[in-house]
């Protein structure tokens, strides 16, 4: 994530002595958070790896922190401290522990007293409904989620562009009783573009597992997490990384989308094997474009390029991928929302395409730049209420 602040990260030591940890593939990040100008330690700062359950708080006197059990991969390291500019830096954990010195700069607003008067927006309740539907989702899991401090969300609506935007200056705290997480989300941006028919949000979430009341509740959470994981975009990208799409139940097919010409009726002949697809995924675009499906599993080398050892993989999807997860069906509430007959069971079907020529992802199934791609269909339906941390691994394989 790009922020308009200058970030300083000093590497103190990245030398791993011995090879005892190589088999575990989990490592430790330690360090200290200080004021860049005064060099004083900053106590009780939140330090975490975005989109994971891996985080810590700095100690009272030393400003030191420690994050254990970090799998190999690339992460966004985030530090949040009241009165200071938010710290964000990309780090990579290879086969070694990391020790870091994180230097924070005071925010401009912290240098002088600022009085902020909030005005009552008569449309706020309506904007909040739009935000929750597109950020948390419309599923039964989303309806159970609670944002405990929604007063921190600032909305802005552009009538001419028909876009609603939202941001927050501090953590949004979300209780997800379906998956058993308390989510702290630093919302960098949210856009609901009604003119072009898409929604996008981005930020830095931190997952804290909730304490179960009993073993039965823990088992229910584990079951719900597995259901959320299998067939998800995270599951797909991990399977793509390991070259196991077919084994994991995925069918990835090529789609070419073309602009619908005036007076277009029926299915024109296509001489390269493409068949016009009756698109189910995006009703807003269905009258403007035509999708042509090329049936059959696409070759791996046509959609991604494997990275060298220790490097990230690269997506090179030139058209659109239709991803069908054969081991799971679409939920009844999704079918009803899309206007389909909920009595007809359908395999989970999603469309995925890039907004940039290429996009990189790691072995955790994490896209380095989430704004470089868009989802339609079932993945587009799944929002934050179904999202899992990058360090999540299912306990049992899908049968």
pTM: 0.84
For residue 101, is it left (φ>0), alpha (ψ between -120 and 50) or beta? beta
Cα–Cα distance, 158 to 377 (Å, whole number): 27
Domain ranges of the chain: 8-111, 124-209, 230-386
Q: Are 237 and 365 in contact (CB under 8 A)?
A: yes
Q: Which two tokens stand for residue 276?
A: 């016009």
pLDDT tens digits for 85-138?
989 999 988 889 999 999 999 987 654 444 444 556 789 999 999 999 999 999
First to last CA, the chain: 37
Q: Which two tokens stand for residue 64?
A: 């030191």
Half-sphere CA count of 13, side-chain side, radius 13 A = 10
CA 164 distance to own-chain centroid: 20
Task: Say which CATH architecture domain 8-111 belongs to.
Answer: Sandwich (2.60)
Four-residue CA torsion sign, 155, 160, 163, 167: negative
Q: What is the side-by-side order of every strand in the sheet holding 73-80?
A: 55-57, 46-49, 73-80, 87-93
pLDDT per residue rounded down to tens, the chain (399 residues): 433 333 333 433 333 333 333 334 799 999 999 999 999 999 999 999 999 999 999 998 999 999 999 988 889 999 999 899 989 999 988 889 999 999 999 987 654 444 444 556 789 999 999 999 999 999 999 999 999 999 999 999 999 999 999 999 889 999 999 999 999 999 999 999 998 888 999 899 999 999 999 999 999 999 999 999 999 999 999 999 999 999 999 999 999 988 877 665 555 545 555 666 664 544 434 567 788 899 999 999 999 999 887 678 999 999 999 999 999 999 999 999 999 898 888 999 999 999 999 999 988 888 888 788 989 999 999 999 999 999 999 987 776
Q: Are 132 and 155 in contact (CB under 8 A)?
A: no
CA 339 → CA 323, 333, 335, 336, 344, distances in Å? 21, 10, 6, 5, 12
- 3-class secondary structure for the chain? CCCCCCCEEEEEECCCCCCCCCCCCEEEEEEEEEECCCCCECCCCEEEECCECCEEECCCCCCEEEEEEEECEEEEEEEECCCECCEEEEEEECCCCEEEEEEECECHHHHCCCCCCCCCCCCHHHHHHHHHHHHCCCCHHHHHCEECCHHHEEEEEECCCCEEEEEECCCEEEEECCCCEEEEEEEEEEEEECCCCEEEEEEEEEEEECCCCCHHHHHHHHHHHHHHHCCCHHHHHHHHHCCCCCCCCEEEEEEEEEECCCCCCCCCCCCCCCEEECCCCCCCCCCCEEEEEECCCCCHHHCEECCCCCCCEEECCCCEEEEEEEEEECCHHHHHHHCCCCCCCCEEEEEEEECCCCEEECCCCCECCHHHEEEEEHHHHCCHHHCCCCCCCCCCCCC
Cα–Cα distance, 75 to 1 (Å, whole number): 11
Which residue bears the tokens 């079918």? 335
pLDDT tens digits for 163-198?
999 999 889 999 999 999 999 999 999 999 998 888
CA 350 → CA 106, 236, 285, distances in Å? 44, 11, 15
């Amino acid at each position: 994530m790009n922020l308009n602040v200058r970030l300083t990260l000093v590497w103190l030591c990245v030398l791993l002595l011995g090879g005892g940890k190589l088999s575990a593939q989990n490592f430790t990040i330690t360090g200290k958070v200080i004021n860049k100008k005064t060099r004083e330690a900053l106590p009780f700062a939140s330090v975490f790896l975005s989109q994971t359950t891996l985080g810590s708080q700095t100690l009272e006197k030393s400003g030191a922190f420690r994050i254990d059990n970090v799998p190999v991969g690339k992460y966004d390291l985030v530090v949040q401290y009241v009165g200071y500019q938010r710290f964000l830096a990309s780090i990579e954990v290879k086969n070694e522990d990391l020790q870091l010195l994180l230097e924070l700069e005071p925010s401009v607003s912290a240098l002088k007293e600022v009085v902020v008067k909030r005005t009552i927006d008569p449309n706020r309740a309506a904007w909040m409904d739009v935000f929750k539907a597109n950020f948390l989702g419309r599923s039964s899991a989303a309806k159970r989620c609670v944002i405990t401090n929604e007063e921190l969300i600032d909305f802005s609506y552009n009538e001419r562009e028909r876009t609603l935007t939202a941001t927050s200056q501090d953590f949004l705290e979300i209780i997800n009783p379906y998956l058993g997480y308390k989510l702290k989300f630093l919302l960098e941006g949210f856009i609901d573009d009604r003119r072009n028919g898409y929604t996008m949000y981005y930020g830095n979430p931190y997952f804290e597992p909730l304490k179960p009341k009993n073993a039965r509740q823990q088992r229910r959470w584990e079951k719900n997490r597995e259901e959320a994981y299998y067939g998800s975009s995270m599951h797909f990208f991990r399977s793509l990384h390991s070259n196991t799409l077919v084994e994991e139940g995925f069918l990835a097919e090529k789609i070419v989308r073309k602009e619908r010409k005036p007076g277009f009726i029926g299915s024109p002949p296509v001489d390269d094997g493409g068949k016009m697809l009756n698109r189910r995924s995006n009703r807003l675009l269905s009258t403007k474009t035509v999708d042509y499906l090329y049936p059959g599993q696409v070759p791996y080398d046509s959609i991604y390029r494997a990275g060298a050892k220790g490097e990230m993989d690269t997506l090179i999807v030139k058209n659109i991928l239709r991803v069908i997860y054969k081991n799971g069906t679409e939920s009844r509430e999704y079918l009803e929302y899309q206007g389909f007959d909920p009595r007809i069971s359908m395999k989970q079907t999603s469309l995925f395409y890039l907004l940039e020529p290429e996009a990189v992802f790691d072995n955790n199934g994490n896209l380095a730049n989430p704004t470089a791609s868009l989802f339609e269909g079932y993945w587009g339906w799944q929002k934050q209420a179904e999202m899992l941390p990058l360090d999540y691994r299912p306990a049992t394989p899908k049968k």
